Amino acid sequence: MVLWIAEGVNLPAPAGPYAVLMAGQLSEREGMAAGLRGHRAFGRLSSSFDALTEGRFTRWVTTAPQEEISEKFTAPEVMVLYDVLCGQAAQERFGKPAAVAGYSLGFYAAAVIARCTTVPAILTWLDRVNGKNRETFAPGQFRLLAVTGLGLEDLQRRLADWSLDEVEVADINNARQFVLAGSAASMEKLAGLLQGLVLDQKFLPLDIPLHTAFLEPARQAVADWWASVPAGAPVLPLVSPVNGQLIASGASFKRHMLESLVAPTDWHAVVAEIRSLGVVTALDTSPGGELGRMARWVARDLQILPISALWEEDV
């Protein structure tokens, strides 16, 4: 079984320092790793990942239908393993990255690549968190809404004015795009009030209020076990999704993992930190390219490599 990801083999890299940006839930796509089947990393990792998932990994990332891999408690496992595969393939093709980061649970895969933790530990984390979320959230009880066009202070002021204090910011994608979470009734009310005030709004196909205080039961459920799990300092610059800071130690990593359950993913801060490190190119693991597009809304001069760069001849 895979415990620590092996060092990559240096091959010609993109011009200048590059980072790997790892995608989270809702980025999964049917056949998303089919192009990697001939890659050495796929051959080396797929059997180990199949052993960890009762033989499902290879099917998930190559031939499984969209509805299977998008099931809300299956997608996290699918995406973490897919992201780890992509991160290792990137090192073998382009050499060691200057930084690794992940959107939402993409952070878990980034932490594996940075050697803070292991694949089995992350799968156990997901199993424990998902188990508690199943108990806590009835289907359809909560909704998530992506909103584009208002700044954070303006948005929070309006929530207070409308007596929607229980609605929380779950993701900060850029200075004017956010994902909000709350009870289904509150979110329906909010969507109506935002009509004509925003450029765009869209309900997401997920009813777990990730990265909000609503997940405090999951954080408590995993905390005691997590305290006993070994963790190491990152061997690559690893950016926290909570505040965009570099993680310096295993203890810090473990704190940020717990906090990431109940605090918004701040992608704006993550991308700003990556750019401040001198990174000029980022590999986007999202099959649809949405993570790279979001990154460029924060840093317009950041060059994005699509995931297909891992199997195409020309970079």
Per residue in 21-36, pLDDT tens?
A: 999 999 999 999 999 9
Query: Residue ranges of the alpha helices (H) in the chain?
Result: 40-52, 57-62, 66-69, 75-94, 106-113, 119-136, 152-161, 184-194, 216-227, 250-262, 267-276, 290-298
Distance CA 7, CA 127 (A): 28
Q: Which range, 15-24, 57-66, 303-312, has the best average confidence (pLDDT)?
A: 57-66
- Give the pLDDT score at 165: 92
- Give the pLDDT score at 226: 98
> Which pair of tokens denotes residue 173?
């994608």
Distance of CA 49 to the CA centre of its chain: 19
Quick one: pLDDT band at residue 7, thresholds 50, 70, 90? very low
- Give the pLDDT score at 262: 98
Closest by CA to 146, choosing from 186, 107, 183, 199, is: 199
Distance CA 43, CA 8 (A): 14
Place of tokens 């997901």: 126
Quick one: pLDDT band at residue 45, thresholds 50, 70, 90? very high
Distance CA 116, CA 122 (A): 11
> Between 119-136 and 106-113, two packed helices, what is the crossing angle to 10 degrees?
160
> Which pair of tokens denotes residue 295?
């990154």
Distance CA 145, CA 105 (A): 18
DSSP 8-state code for residue 301: T
DSSP track, 203-250: E-S--S-TTSGGGHHHHHHHHHHHHTS-----SS-BB-TTTSPBP-SH
> Between 119-136 and 75-94, two packed helices, what is the crossing angle to 10 degrees?
150
- Give the pLDDT score at 211: 98
- Give the pLDDT score at 312: 81
pLDDT at residue 12 above 70? no
Distance CA 30, CA 53 (A): 18
Q: How far is CA 49 from CA 43, 81, 221, in A?
A: 11, 7, 26
First CA to last CA distance, the chain? 32
Per residue in 187-220, pLDDT tens?
A: 999 999 999 999 999 999 999 999 999 999 999 9
Distance CA 83, CA 106 (A): 7
Distance CA 165, CA 239 (A): 30
Quick one: pLDDT band at residue 15, thresholds 50, 70, 90? low
